[in-house]
Structure 1
Amino acid sequence: MKTRNLTVVCMLAGLLCWGCKQTDVTQVLDRAETCMAERPDSSLYLLRTLDKRHISGSLRKARYALLYSQALDKNYIDVDNDSLIRVAVDYYKGHGTSHEKALAYFYLGRVYDNAGDETRATEAFVEAETHALDTDDHYICGLIYSYLGNLYFSQYSFDEALAMYDKSEKCYAQAGQLRNEGYMVEAKARVYKLQHLWDNSVYDLSESDLDLCSMICFGFSSNSIRQIYAHTNPDSIYNKRSKLRNKLKLGPSIQIEGFIRNLLAELSRKETA
Protein backbone atom coordinates (compact mmCIF):
# COMPACT_ATOMS: atom_id res chain seq x y z
CA MET A 1 0.00 0.00 0.00
CA LYS A 2 2.79 2.37 0.94
CA THR A 3 4.60 1.56 -2.30
CA ARG A 4 1.49 2.33 -4.35
CA ASN A 5 0.97 5.65 -2.53
CA LEU A 6 4.60 6.60 -3.11
CA THR A 7 4.23 5.84 -6.82
CA VAL A 8 1.15 8.04 -7.07
CA VAL A 9 2.92 10.88 -5.24
CA CYS A 10 5.92 10.63 -7.57
CA MET A 11 3.68 10.67 -10.64
CA LEU A 12 1.81 13.74 -9.37
CA ALA A 13 5.09 15.48 -8.58
CA GLY A 14 6.36 14.70 -12.07
CA LEU A 15 3.21 16.08 -13.67
CA LEU A 16 3.44 19.21 -11.51
CA CYS A 17 7.09 19.70 -12.48
CA TRP A 18 6.24 19.23 -16.17
CA GLY A 19 3.45 21.77 -15.89
CA CYS A 20 5.80 24.26 -14.25
CA LYS A 21 8.31 23.81 -17.05
CA GLN A 22 5.66 24.50 -19.68
CA THR A 23 4.56 27.61 -17.78
CA ASP A 24 8.19 28.76 -17.71
CA VAL A 25 8.52 28.14 -21.45
CA THR A 26 5.40 30.18 -22.17
CA GLN A 27 6.66 33.04 -19.99
CA VAL A 28 10.01 33.11 -21.79
CA LEU A 29 8.27 33.10 -25.17
CA ASP A 30 6.04 35.96 -23.99
CA ARG A 31 9.04 38.03 -22.84
CA ALA A 32 10.96 37.31 -26.06
CA GLU A 33 8.00 38.45 -28.15
CA THR A 34 7.52 41.60 -26.09
CA CYS A 35 11.06 42.89 -26.61
CA MET A 36 11.50 41.65 -30.20
CA ALA A 37 10.92 45.02 -31.89
CA GLU A 38 13.15 47.16 -29.68
CA ARG A 39 15.66 44.63 -28.29
CA PRO A 40 15.98 41.65 -30.65
CA ASP A 41 19.33 40.79 -29.06
CA SER A 42 17.58 40.30 -25.73
CA SER A 43 14.91 38.19 -27.43
CA LEU A 44 17.56 35.94 -28.92
CA TYR A 45 19.29 35.62 -25.55
CA LEU A 46 16.03 34.62 -23.85
CA LEU A 47 15.17 32.06 -26.51
CA ARG A 48 18.63 30.52 -26.22
CA THR A 49 18.04 29.91 -22.51
CA LEU A 50 15.25 27.45 -23.32
CA ASP A 51 15.94 23.74 -23.39
CA LYS A 52 14.12 22.48 -26.50
CA ARG A 53 13.48 19.19 -24.73
CA HIS A 54 11.12 21.04 -22.41
CA ILE A 55 9.09 22.61 -25.22
CA SER A 56 6.04 20.45 -25.80
CA GLY A 57 2.87 20.83 -27.81
CA SER A 58 2.47 21.93 -31.42
CA LEU A 59 1.59 25.51 -30.51
CA ARG A 60 4.63 26.11 -28.28
CA LYS A 61 6.96 24.48 -30.78
CA ALA A 62 5.58 26.58 -33.63
CA ARG A 63 5.75 29.76 -31.58
CA TYR A 64 9.31 29.02 -30.53
CA ALA A 65 10.31 28.33 -34.16
CA LEU A 66 8.75 31.56 -35.39
CA LEU A 67 10.21 33.74 -32.63
CA TYR A 68 13.65 32.16 -32.95
CA SER A 69 13.64 32.66 -36.74
CA GLN A 70 12.57 36.26 -36.24
CA ALA A 71 15.25 36.91 -33.62
CA LEU A 72 18.00 35.44 -35.80
CA ASP A 73 16.95 37.59 -38.76
CA LYS A 74 16.70 40.76 -36.69
CA ASN A 75 20.19 40.11 -35.31
CA TYR A 76 21.58 39.79 -38.86
CA ILE A 77 22.27 36.08 -38.52
CA ASP A 78 21.51 34.66 -41.96
CA VAL A 79 19.92 31.23 -42.08
CA ASP A 80 19.60 29.35 -45.37
CA ASN A 81 18.02 26.13 -44.07
CA ASP A 82 14.24 26.05 -43.67
CA SER A 83 14.06 23.23 -41.09
CA LEU A 84 13.32 25.60 -38.18
CA ILE A 85 10.88 28.02 -39.81
CA ARG A 86 9.08 25.08 -41.46
CA VAL A 87 7.86 24.03 -38.02
CA ALA A 88 6.06 27.37 -37.74
CA VAL A 89 4.81 27.42 -41.33
CA ASP A 90 3.39 23.90 -41.12
CA TYR A 91 1.53 24.73 -37.92
CA TYR A 92 0.22 28.17 -38.85
CA LYS A 93 -1.11 26.92 -42.19
CA GLY A 94 -4.10 25.59 -40.31
CA HIS A 95 -3.94 27.50 -37.03
CA GLY A 96 -3.30 30.93 -35.63
CA THR A 97 -4.04 34.46 -36.77
CA SER A 98 -3.45 36.10 -40.13
CA HIS A 99 -0.60 38.01 -38.53
CA GLU A 100 1.13 34.82 -37.41
CA LYS A 101 0.65 33.29 -40.85
CA ALA A 102 2.13 36.42 -42.48
CA LEU A 103 5.17 36.35 -40.19
CA ALA A 104 5.75 32.63 -40.76
CA TYR A 105 5.73 32.96 -44.54
CA PHE A 106 7.78 36.16 -44.42
CA TYR A 107 10.60 34.49 -42.51
CA LEU A 108 10.34 31.46 -44.78
CA GLY A 109 10.95 33.90 -47.63
CA ARG A 110 13.94 35.36 -45.81
CA VAL A 111 15.48 31.90 -45.50
CA TYR A 112 14.99 31.18 -49.21
CA ASP A 113 16.37 34.63 -50.03
CA ASN A 114 19.49 33.87 -47.97
CA ALA A 115 19.81 30.57 -49.84
CA GLY A 116 19.68 32.37 -53.20
CA ASP A 117 16.42 30.66 -54.20
CA GLU A 118 14.67 33.68 -55.73
CA THR A 119 11.67 31.71 -57.00
CA ARG A 120 10.70 30.17 -53.67
CA ALA A 121 11.53 33.40 -51.83
CA THR A 122 9.15 35.31 -54.08
CA GLU A 123 6.43 32.70 -53.61
CA ALA A 124 6.80 32.85 -49.82
CA PHE A 125 6.70 36.66 -49.73
CA VAL A 126 3.60 36.72 -51.96
CA GLU A 127 1.91 34.22 -49.64
CA ALA A 128 2.93 36.38 -46.67
CA GLU A 129 1.35 39.38 -48.41
CA THR A 130 -2.03 37.66 -48.76
CA HIS A 131 -2.19 37.13 -44.99
CA ALA A 132 -0.64 40.49 -44.05
CA LEU A 133 -3.37 42.33 -45.97
CA ASP A 134 -5.90 40.84 -43.52
CA THR A 135 -4.13 42.60 -40.64
CA ASP A 136 -3.61 46.22 -39.64
CA ASP A 137 0.18 45.76 -39.38
CA HIS A 138 1.49 48.19 -41.98
CA TYR A 139 5.08 47.55 -40.88
CA ILE A 140 5.10 43.87 -41.89
CA CYS A 141 3.46 44.84 -45.19
CA GLY A 142 6.26 47.34 -45.75
CA LEU A 143 8.87 44.67 -45.06
CA ILE A 144 7.25 42.21 -47.45
CA TYR A 145 7.04 44.73 -50.28
CA SER A 146 10.61 45.94 -49.75
CA TYR A 147 12.02 42.43 -50.05
CA LEU A 148 9.84 41.69 -53.08
CA GLY A 149 11.22 44.89 -54.58
CA ASN A 150 14.77 43.70 -53.96
CA LEU A 151 14.03 40.36 -55.63
CA TYR A 152 12.48 41.99 -58.69
CA PHE A 153 15.37 44.44 -58.88
CA SER A 154 17.92 41.61 -58.82
CA GLN A 155 16.12 40.11 -61.83
CA TYR A 156 16.14 43.47 -63.70
CA SER A 157 12.34 43.68 -63.48
CA PHE A 158 12.53 47.41 -62.86
CA ASP A 159 8.82 48.21 -63.23
CA GLU A 160 7.85 45.49 -60.74
CA ALA A 161 10.61 46.62 -58.36
CA LEU A 162 9.39 50.22 -58.46
CA ALA A 163 5.82 49.11 -57.80
CA MET A 164 6.90 47.12 -54.73
CA TYR A 165 9.12 49.90 -53.38
CA ASP A 166 6.25 52.34 -53.83
CA LYS A 167 3.87 50.09 -51.88
CA SER A 168 6.52 49.61 -49.20
CA GLU A 169 7.05 53.35 -48.89
CA LYS A 170 3.33 53.93 -48.35
CA CYS A 171 3.07 51.13 -45.79
CA TYR A 172 6.05 52.44 -43.83
CA ALA A 173 4.47 55.92 -43.88
CA GLN A 174 1.25 54.49 -42.40
CA ALA A 175 3.29 52.64 -39.77
CA GLY A 176 5.18 55.81 -38.83
CA GLN A 177 8.49 54.23 -39.88
CA LEU A 178 10.07 57.39 -41.27
CA ARG A 179 13.57 55.96 -41.65
CA ASN A 180 12.38 52.93 -43.61
CA GLU A 181 10.12 55.19 -45.66
CA GLY A 182 13.21 57.20 -46.59
CA TYR A 183 15.07 54.04 -47.58
CA MET A 184 12.30 53.19 -50.02
CA VAL A 185 12.45 56.67 -51.56
CA GLU A 186 16.19 56.17 -52.08
CA ALA A 187 15.63 52.68 -53.50
CA LYS A 188 13.11 54.04 -56.02
CA ALA A 189 15.52 56.77 -57.07
CA ARG A 190 18.29 54.25 -57.67
CA VAL A 191 16.01 51.99 -59.71
CA TYR A 192 14.95 54.93 -61.88
CA LYS A 193 18.58 55.81 -62.53
CA LEU A 194 19.67 52.27 -63.31
CA GLN A 195 16.63 51.77 -65.53
CA HIS A 196 17.69 54.83 -67.47
CA LEU A 197 21.22 53.47 -67.71
CA TRP A 198 19.93 50.12 -68.97
CA ASP A 199 17.44 51.54 -71.47
CA ASN A 200 19.22 54.64 -72.74
CA SER A 201 22.94 54.08 -72.43
CA VAL A 202 24.96 54.02 -75.64
CA TYR A 203 27.33 51.59 -73.96
CA ASP A 204 26.99 47.88 -74.66
CA LEU A 205 26.51 46.77 -71.06
CA SER A 206 25.77 43.19 -70.09
CA GLU A 207 23.72 42.14 -67.05
CA SER A 208 27.00 41.41 -65.27
CA ASP A 209 28.15 44.96 -66.02
CA LEU A 210 24.87 46.32 -64.69
CA ASP A 211 25.32 44.26 -61.52
CA LEU A 212 28.60 46.00 -60.86
CA CYS A 213 27.13 49.41 -61.73
CA SER A 214 24.27 48.71 -59.32
CA MET A 215 26.58 47.91 -56.42
CA ILE A 216 28.71 50.96 -57.12
CA CYS A 217 25.56 53.08 -57.33
CA PHE A 218 24.31 51.67 -54.03
CA GLY A 219 27.58 52.64 -52.35
CA PHE A 220 29.05 49.15 -51.84
CA SER A 221 32.73 49.30 -50.90
CA SER A 222 35.28 47.49 -53.07
CA ASN A 223 35.83 45.03 -50.25
CA SER A 224 32.09 44.28 -49.99
CA ILE A 225 31.83 43.75 -53.75
CA ARG A 226 34.87 41.51 -53.64
CA GLN A 227 33.29 39.34 -50.96
CA ILE A 228 30.05 39.05 -52.94
CA TYR A 229 31.83 37.91 -56.09
CA ALA A 230 34.05 35.54 -54.11
CA HIS A 231 30.94 33.47 -53.35
CA THR A 232 29.14 33.76 -56.69
CA ASN A 233 31.66 34.30 -59.46
CA PRO A 234 35.27 33.22 -59.97
CA ASP A 235 36.06 36.33 -62.00
CA SER A 236 37.82 38.81 -59.72
CA ILE A 237 36.45 42.26 -58.93
CA TYR A 238 39.55 43.76 -60.54
CA ASN A 239 38.87 42.01 -63.84
CA LYS A 240 35.23 43.06 -63.74
CA ARG A 241 36.11 46.67 -63.05
CA SER A 242 38.71 46.61 -65.80
CA LYS A 243 36.23 45.22 -68.34
CA LEU A 244 33.62 47.78 -67.31
CA ARG A 245 36.15 50.61 -67.60
CA ASN A 246 37.00 49.47 -71.11
CA LYS A 247 33.34 49.41 -72.15
CA LEU A 248 32.83 52.87 -70.69
CA LYS A 249 36.01 54.02 -72.48
CA LEU A 250 37.50 55.54 -69.33
CA GLY A 251 40.97 57.03 -69.26
CA PRO A 252 43.38 56.09 -66.46
CA SER A 253 42.72 59.33 -64.55
CA ILE A 254 38.91 58.94 -64.40
CA GLN A 255 37.37 57.22 -61.38
CA ILE A 256 34.66 54.72 -62.30
CA GLU A 257 32.48 55.62 -59.29
CA GLY A 258 32.36 59.30 -60.21
CA PHE A 259 31.80 58.56 -63.89
CA ILE A 260 28.81 56.29 -63.18
CA ARG A 261 27.26 58.87 -60.84
CA ASN A 262 27.65 61.59 -63.46
CA LEU A 263 26.32 59.32 -66.20
CA LEU A 264 23.22 58.47 -64.17
CA ALA A 265 22.64 62.13 -63.34
CA GLU A 266 22.95 63.07 -67.02
CA LEU A 267 20.49 60.36 -68.07
CA SER A 268 18.06 61.53 -65.39
CA ARG A 269 18.25 65.12 -66.66
CA LYS A 270 17.58 64.00 -70.23
CA GLU A 271 14.62 61.91 -69.09
CA THR A 272 12.98 64.84 -67.28
CA ALA A 273 13.84 67.47 -69.90
Structure 2
Amino acid sequence: MKTLTLPFLLVALLISGCAKRNLTYFSDIEPNSNYSIAVREVSEIRIKPFDRVRITVNSPSTEANLLFNRGKVAENIETINGLEIRQESTDQNIYLVGKEGFIEFPILGQIKLQGLTLHEAREELKFLLKSQVKEPSVNLIITNFKVTVIGEVNRPSNFLVGSERINIFEAIGLAGDLTLYGKRENVLIMRDIEGVRNVYRVNLNNKDILNSPYYYLQQNDIIYVEPHGQKEKDAKNNSTLITVLSVASSVLVAIIFNYQNLFN
Protein backbone atom coordinates (compact mmCIF):
# COMPACT_ATOMS: atom_id res chain seq x y z
CA MET A 1 0.00 0.00 0.00
CA LYS A 2 2.88 2.36 0.81
CA THR A 3 4.35 1.60 -2.61
CA LEU A 4 1.13 2.73 -4.31
CA THR A 5 0.80 5.87 -2.23
CA LEU A 6 4.29 7.26 -2.94
CA PRO A 7 3.81 8.06 -6.66
CA PHE A 8 0.58 9.91 -5.98
CA LEU A 9 2.26 11.96 -3.25
CA LEU A 10 4.99 12.92 -5.69
CA VAL A 11 2.43 13.99 -8.30
CA ALA A 12 0.62 16.12 -5.73
CA LEU A 13 3.88 17.81 -4.75
CA LEU A 14 4.70 18.60 -8.37
CA ILE A 15 1.32 20.18 -8.99
CA SER A 16 1.36 22.22 -5.79
CA GLY A 17 4.87 23.48 -6.65
CA CYS A 18 3.62 25.62 -9.56
CA ALA A 19 4.21 29.31 -8.85
CA LYS A 20 1.29 31.68 -8.64
CA ARG A 21 1.49 34.35 -11.34
CA ASN A 22 -0.34 37.54 -12.22
CA LEU A 23 -2.15 36.99 -15.53
CA THR A 24 -4.41 40.07 -15.33
CA TYR A 25 -3.83 43.15 -17.48
CA PHE A 26 -3.99 46.45 -15.52
CA SER A 27 -4.04 44.47 -12.29
CA ASP A 28 -3.14 47.56 -10.27
CA ILE A 29 -6.55 49.11 -10.99
CA GLU A 30 -8.77 48.50 -7.97
CA PRO A 31 -11.55 45.95 -8.56
CA ASN A 32 -15.00 47.44 -9.25
CA SER A 33 -13.52 50.91 -9.71
CA ASN A 34 -13.22 53.23 -12.69
CA TYR A 35 -9.97 54.70 -13.93
CA SER A 36 -9.29 57.58 -16.31
CA ILE A 37 -6.17 59.35 -17.51
CA ALA A 38 -5.57 62.21 -19.91
CA VAL A 39 -4.46 60.91 -23.30
CA ARG A 40 -0.95 62.06 -24.09
CA GLU A 41 -0.13 63.53 -27.47
CA VAL A 42 0.34 60.66 -29.89
CA SER A 43 3.60 60.67 -31.81
CA GLU A 44 2.74 60.65 -35.51
CA ILE A 45 4.09 58.01 -37.84
CA ARG A 46 7.09 59.20 -39.85
CA ILE A 47 8.12 57.83 -43.22
CA LYS A 48 11.19 55.58 -43.17
CA PRO A 49 13.44 54.08 -45.85
CA PHE A 50 11.90 51.05 -47.58
CA ASP A 51 8.36 52.16 -46.76
CA ARG A 52 5.94 51.79 -49.66
CA VAL A 53 3.67 54.78 -50.07
CA ARG A 54 0.59 55.00 -52.25
CA ILE A 55 0.19 58.51 -53.62
CA THR A 56 -2.99 59.63 -55.37
CA VAL A 57 -3.21 63.09 -56.95
CA ASN A 58 -6.52 64.77 -57.77
CA SER A 59 -7.06 68.04 -59.59
CA PRO A 60 -9.56 69.69 -61.98
CA SER A 61 -7.35 68.54 -64.89
CA THR A 62 -8.09 65.05 -66.18
CA GLU A 63 -4.81 65.02 -68.11
CA ALA A 64 -2.82 65.89 -64.99
CA ASN A 65 -4.61 63.21 -62.98
CA LEU A 66 -3.68 60.58 -65.56
CA LEU A 67 -0.08 61.80 -65.65
CA PHE A 68 0.56 61.86 -61.92
CA ASN A 69 -1.46 58.77 -61.06
CA ARG A 70 0.24 56.37 -63.43
CA GLY A 71 2.66 55.60 -60.61
CA LYS A 72 6.20 54.32 -60.72
CA VAL A 73 6.10 50.59 -60.21
CA ALA A 74 7.65 49.68 -56.87
CA GLU A 75 10.38 47.08 -56.84
CA ASN A 76 9.95 44.19 -54.44
CA ILE A 77 13.23 42.69 -53.19
CA GLU A 78 13.23 39.28 -51.51
CA THR A 79 16.25 37.36 -50.27
CA ILE A 80 16.11 33.60 -50.90
CA ASN A 81 19.06 31.41 -49.96
CA GLY A 82 21.27 34.48 -49.81
CA LEU A 83 20.25 35.72 -53.27
CA GLU A 84 18.33 38.94 -53.92
CA ILE A 85 15.24 38.28 -56.04
CA ARG A 86 13.82 41.46 -57.57
CA GLN A 87 10.19 41.56 -58.65
CA GLU A 88 8.09 44.48 -59.82
CA SER A 89 4.84 45.17 -58.03
CA THR A 90 1.75 45.52 -60.24
CA ASP A 91 0.20 48.07 -57.87
CA GLN A 92 -0.06 51.50 -59.43
CA ASN A 93 0.69 54.74 -57.56
CA ILE A 94 2.97 52.93 -55.11
CA TYR A 95 6.44 54.33 -54.57
CA LEU A 96 9.30 52.68 -52.73
CA VAL A 97 11.16 55.03 -50.40
CA GLY A 98 14.81 54.40 -51.15
CA LYS A 99 17.67 53.85 -48.73
CA GLU A 100 18.43 57.59 -48.80
CA GLY A 101 14.79 58.49 -48.20
CA PHE A 102 13.78 59.61 -51.72
CA ILE A 103 11.01 58.56 -54.13
CA GLU A 104 11.04 59.08 -57.88
CA PHE A 105 7.87 60.97 -58.81
CA PRO A 106 6.60 61.71 -62.35
CA ILE A 107 7.72 65.14 -63.71
CA LEU A 108 8.89 66.31 -60.27
CA GLY A 109 11.75 63.82 -60.08
CA GLN A 110 13.31 62.87 -56.74
CA ILE A 111 11.45 63.96 -53.61
CA LYS A 112 12.70 63.27 -50.09
CA LEU A 113 9.99 61.88 -47.83
CA GLN A 114 12.08 60.27 -45.10
CA GLY A 115 11.41 61.77 -41.67
CA LEU A 116 8.14 63.44 -42.69
CA THR A 117 4.81 62.64 -41.11
CA LEU A 118 2.09 61.58 -43.52
CA HIS A 119 0.49 65.02 -43.20
CA GLU A 120 3.81 66.77 -43.86
CA ALA A 121 4.45 64.55 -46.89
CA ARG A 122 1.01 65.36 -48.34
CA GLU A 123 1.61 69.09 -47.85
CA GLU A 124 5.09 68.88 -49.40
CA LEU A 125 3.73 67.12 -52.48
CA LYS A 126 0.88 69.62 -52.81
CA PHE A 127 3.36 72.50 -52.66
CA LEU A 128 5.57 70.96 -55.36
CA LEU A 129 2.60 70.04 -57.57
CA LYS A 130 1.27 73.61 -57.61
CA SER A 131 3.94 74.48 -60.16
CA GLN A 132 2.43 71.88 -62.48
CA VAL A 133 -1.24 71.56 -61.55
CA LYS A 134 -3.98 73.92 -60.37
CA GLU A 135 -5.62 73.15 -57.03
CA PRO A 136 -4.00 69.76 -56.44
CA SER A 137 -5.03 67.49 -53.58
CA VAL A 138 -2.91 64.58 -52.43
CA ASN A 139 -3.74 61.38 -50.60
CA LEU A 140 -0.78 59.44 -49.21
CA ILE A 141 -0.72 56.26 -47.12
CA ILE A 142 1.89 53.65 -46.17
CA THR A 143 0.89 50.32 -47.69
CA ASN A 144 3.39 48.06 -45.93
CA PHE A 145 2.78 49.26 -42.37
CA LYS A 146 3.23 46.07 -40.40
CA VAL A 147 4.04 44.96 -36.87
CA THR A 148 5.44 41.62 -35.76
CA VAL A 149 4.42 39.76 -32.59
CA ILE A 150 6.52 36.77 -31.52
CA GLY A 151 7.29 34.73 -28.41
CA GLU A 152 4.66 33.52 -25.95
CA VAL A 153 1.55 34.36 -27.98
CA ASN A 154 -0.98 32.00 -29.50
CA ARG A 155 -0.50 33.10 -33.14
CA PRO A 156 2.97 34.63 -33.64
CA SER A 157 3.20 36.41 -36.99
CA ASN A 158 3.57 39.76 -38.68
CA PHE A 159 0.41 41.74 -39.35
CA LEU A 160 -0.36 44.39 -41.94
CA VAL A 161 -2.06 47.41 -40.39
CA GLY A 162 -4.84 49.01 -42.40
CA SER A 163 -4.84 52.32 -40.52
CA GLU A 164 -2.22 54.85 -39.47
CA ARG A 165 -2.34 53.78 -35.84
CA ILE A 166 -2.34 50.60 -33.77
CA ASN A 167 -1.70 50.12 -30.07
CA ILE A 168 0.13 47.28 -28.34
CA PHE A 169 -3.05 45.57 -27.10
CA GLU A 170 -4.56 45.57 -30.59
CA ALA A 171 -1.38 43.94 -31.91
CA ILE A 172 -1.43 41.32 -29.16
CA GLY A 173 -5.11 40.70 -29.94
CA LEU A 174 -4.20 40.00 -33.58
CA ALA A 175 -1.70 37.44 -32.30
CA GLY A 176 -4.39 35.65 -30.28
CA ASP A 177 -3.34 37.05 -26.87
CA LEU A 178 -0.49 35.89 -24.66
CA THR A 179 -0.16 32.28 -23.59
CA LEU A 180 -0.27 31.42 -19.90
CA TYR A 181 3.52 31.45 -19.92
CA GLY A 182 3.88 34.94 -21.41
CA LYS A 183 5.59 37.48 -19.11
CA ARG A 184 3.02 40.26 -19.07
CA GLU A 185 5.18 42.33 -16.74
CA ASN A 186 8.18 42.45 -19.09
CA VAL A 187 7.25 42.71 -22.79
CA LEU A 188 9.92 43.90 -25.23
CA ILE A 189 9.34 46.34 -28.08
CA MET A 190 12.06 46.59 -30.72
CA ARG A 191 12.05 49.75 -32.86
CA ASP A 192 14.46 51.18 -35.45
CA ILE A 193 14.89 54.95 -35.27
CA GLU A 194 17.19 56.69 -37.76
CA GLY A 195 19.46 53.70 -38.14
CA VAL A 196 19.56 52.85 -34.43
CA ARG A 197 17.84 49.71 -33.10
CA ASN A 198 16.19 50.35 -29.74
CA VAL A 199 14.67 47.92 -27.25
CA TYR A 200 12.08 49.04 -24.69
CA ARG A 201 10.36 47.10 -21.92
CA VAL A 202 6.74 47.61 -20.90
CA ASN A 203 4.58 46.17 -18.12
CA LEU A 204 1.11 45.17 -19.31
CA ASN A 205 0.00 44.51 -15.74
CA ASN A 206 0.47 48.17 -14.87
CA LYS A 207 -2.04 50.86 -15.84
CA ASP A 208 0.84 53.24 -16.68
CA ILE A 209 1.12 51.48 -20.05
CA LEU A 210 -1.99 53.41 -21.11
CA ASN A 211 0.03 56.63 -21.13
CA SER A 212 3.34 55.20 -22.23
CA PRO A 213 5.12 56.54 -25.34
CA TYR A 214 5.19 52.91 -26.50
CA TYR A 215 1.47 52.32 -26.16
CA TYR A 216 1.07 53.14 -29.86
CA LEU A 217 3.27 51.20 -32.25
CA GLN A 218 5.19 52.34 -35.30
CA GLN A 219 5.70 50.59 -38.60
CA ASN A 220 8.03 47.58 -38.44
CA ASP A 221 7.93 47.40 -34.63
CA ILE A 222 8.60 43.94 -33.19
CA ILE A 223 6.91 42.81 -29.99
CA TYR A 224 8.60 39.96 -28.17
CA VAL A 225 6.87 38.25 -25.26
CA GLU A 226 9.38 36.43 -23.08
CA PRO A 227 8.50 33.02 -21.57
CA HIS A 228 8.19 32.91 -17.80
CA GLY A 229 10.71 30.75 -15.93
CA GLN A 230 7.78 28.60 -14.86
CA LYS A 231 7.63 27.17 -18.38
CA GLU A 232 11.06 25.61 -18.00
CA LYS A 233 10.16 24.37 -14.52
CA ASP A 234 6.93 22.84 -15.81
CA ALA A 235 8.82 21.16 -18.64
CA LYS A 236 11.19 19.61 -16.10
CA ASN A 237 8.27 18.69 -13.84
CA ASN A 238 6.45 17.06 -16.73
CA SER A 239 9.54 15.02 -17.52
CA THR A 240 9.80 14.00 -13.87
CA LEU A 241 6.07 13.25 -13.76
CA ILE A 242 6.32 10.98 -16.79
CA THR A 243 9.20 9.14 -15.16
CA VAL A 244 7.30 8.80 -11.87
CA LEU A 245 4.16 7.54 -13.60
CA SER A 246 6.21 5.09 -15.64
CA VAL A 247 7.85 3.71 -12.51
CA ALA A 248 4.49 3.66 -10.68
CA SER A 249 2.80 1.74 -13.50
CA SER A 250 5.67 -0.78 -13.56
CA VAL A 251 5.39 -1.26 -9.78
CA LEU A 252 1.62 -1.65 -10.05
CA VAL A 253 1.95 -4.25 -12.81
CA ALA A 254 4.52 -6.16 -10.73
CA ILE A 255 2.23 -6.09 -7.67
CA ILE A 256 -0.75 -7.33 -9.67
CA PHE A 257 1.37 -10.04 -11.28
CA ASN A 258 2.70 -11.19 -7.89
CA TYR A 259 -0.79 -11.03 -6.37
CA GLN A 260 -2.14 -13.28 -9.11
CA ASN A 261 0.73 -15.73 -8.61
CA LEU A 262 -0.06 -16.02 -4.88
CA PHE A 263 -3.56 -17.32 -5.62
CA ASN A 264 -2.70 -19.55 -8.54
Larger strand proportion, structure 1 or 2? 2
Taking structure 1 as the reference length, the TM-score comes to 0.20
Higher relative contact order (CA 8 A, sep 6+): 2
Taking structure 2 as the reference length, the TM-score comes to 0.21
Larger helix proportion, structure 1 or 2? 1
**Which has the greater radius of gyration?**
2
